[in-house]
Amino acid sequence: MKTRASYLTKLTLGLLAAGSLAACNQNKSGSSSGSSTPPPANTAVVYVNQDSLLVKYDYAKDMRKRLEDKGAAAKNDVGAKQQAFQREVAEYQKSQNSISANEKSLTEARLNREGQELQQYQQNAGAQLQNDQADESKKLLDKIYAFTKQYAKDNGYKVVLTFQSNNTNLLYADPSLDITGDFVKKINDAYAKEKK
């Protein structure tokens, strides 16, 4: 039972840590913030710093907040159920010497069943949280892809790459090709309009 509760805690803390790590990486590298003006339209290939995008994109911030809230609610819900079950077990242990063998057998069977149900509930809560995270991540990627397609078309870019601090796929990119600042501003503007 403790394993499942700690799993939910670790998952929630992992989401918080990922956001914090991305924020730290963003602050360490001055070139990762991107220029506020995009390169000329005749530039065919540009890139967006993914770390900065995920830290500064308001939809991503809102998504993290939703997932943190869901994780905290699930943790609290599971914790409350665990505490109630533990109280019930403690009450049984106090009274087991004063009840009949038949009552004892029935109570132990019921507690065993409730313990299994609680364990199943914890597993379902963890699975639901994972599903929510996967759904939210897909929505985030879909929004970024759709916006990137229009952004590239509007600016005449043929290729928009992503760059990530610890990613070895991109060894070097000229900082003048970094469109992160303009990209984040415009994707946040689009999201602000969408929220209204």
- pLDDT by residue for the chain (196 residues), tens only, comes to 444 444 434 433 343 333 433 333 333 344 444 555 666 656 789 999 999 999 999 999 999 999 999 999 999 999 999 999 999 999 999 998 898 989 999 999 999 999 999 999 999 999 999 999 999 999 999 999 999 999 999 998 999 999 888 876 777 888 889 999 999 999 999 999 998 8
What are the CA-CA distances from residue 36 to residues 46, 61, 188 (Å)? 14, 21, 14
Q: What is the pLDDT of residue 117?
A: 96
Strand pairing partners for 159? 45
153-161 long-range contacts (CB < 8 A, ≥24 apart) are 155/38, 155/41, 155/46, 155/179, 156/41, 156/42, 157/41, 157/43, 157/44, 157/45, 157/46, 158/44, 158/45, 159/44, 159/45, 159/46, 160/45, 160/46, 160/47, 160/48, 161/45, 161/46, 161/47, 161/48
Domain count, the chain: 1
For residue 11, give its domain range: 2-195
Is residue 110 within 8 A of residue 91, CB to CB? The reply is: no
Q: How far apart are CA 149 and CA 56, in angstroms?
A: 19
